[in-house]
Amino acid sequence: MKNKTIYLLRHGETDFNKRGMVQGRGIDASLNEKGRKQAKQVYEALKNVQFDSIYTSSLVRTRETVLHFDSPKEAMEGFDEISWGDQEGVLPTPDSENLYLKTVRAWRDGKLSESVGGGESPIEVMERQKLAMNEVLNNEGETLLISMHGRAIRILICWLLNYPLQFMDGFDHQNCCYYKLGFSDGVFAVDKFNQVGHLS
């Protein structure tokens, strides 16, 4: 399997992000005005990188984020955001925030089969990501971009680096940040961590 450079890009801002609402894979929101500006900013930052292929989740916000790039693109459900079940698209309340915090604490304690509101667990997300990443790694290209989602990026980086999933919150992110990973001799390493300088 060829050595690769892989950029992991979180999508730009949506109105759900702006309002502090959980999206998940069940909400197919478009970028808002700020998100479209962020997408242009990250394009300017990375336009000189020759991406052999670009992968996105199946959701429109990740596809809109890489709209300016002209490399071949492929949408893959394996890179979708985690499902937050019946908590998706709901205005935050004290009860919903407590449920979220309780679930995240459970994940940090290693209870990785738990989910929110009938949605997905981190283990379920990891299993579908593994199928998608296998296809990415078998791509003949050496420099690749994956446009995806915050929680999904945390889960992906964790298992790519062979960290226990309960450490996923150690990988910070914000809208239109990116990570740069190297893949060599079957091992991943982070080269650039949560890059946001292009957004200033």
User: What is the reported pTM?
Assistant: 0.96
Q: What is the pLDDT of residues 99-156, one digit of tens each?
A: 989 999 999 999 999 998 899 999 999 999 999 999 999 999 999 999 999 999 999 9
Q: What is the pLDDT of residues 161-171, one digit of tens each?
A: 999 999 999 99
pLDDT at 129: 98
pLDDT at 195: 98
C-beta of residue 14 within 8 angstroms of C-beta of residue 23: yes
Q: What is the pLDDT of residues 56-81, one digit of tens each?
A: 999 999 999 999 999 999 999 999 99
Q: What is the pLDDT of residues 20-42, one digit of tens each?
A: 999 999 999 999 999 999 999 99
DSSP code string of 125-194: HHHHHHHHHHHHHTSS-SEEEEEE-HHHHHHHHHHHTT--GGGGGGS---TT-EEEEEEETTEEEEEEEE
Q: Which CATH superfamily hosts domain 4-199? A: Phosphoglycerate mutase-like (3.40.50.1240)
pLDDT at 117: 85
In this predicted structure, the answer to whether residue 1 has a pLDDT above a threshold of 90 is no
C-beta of residue 120 within 8 angstroms of C-beta of residue 83: yes
- Which two three-digit tokens encode residue 171? 């990988």
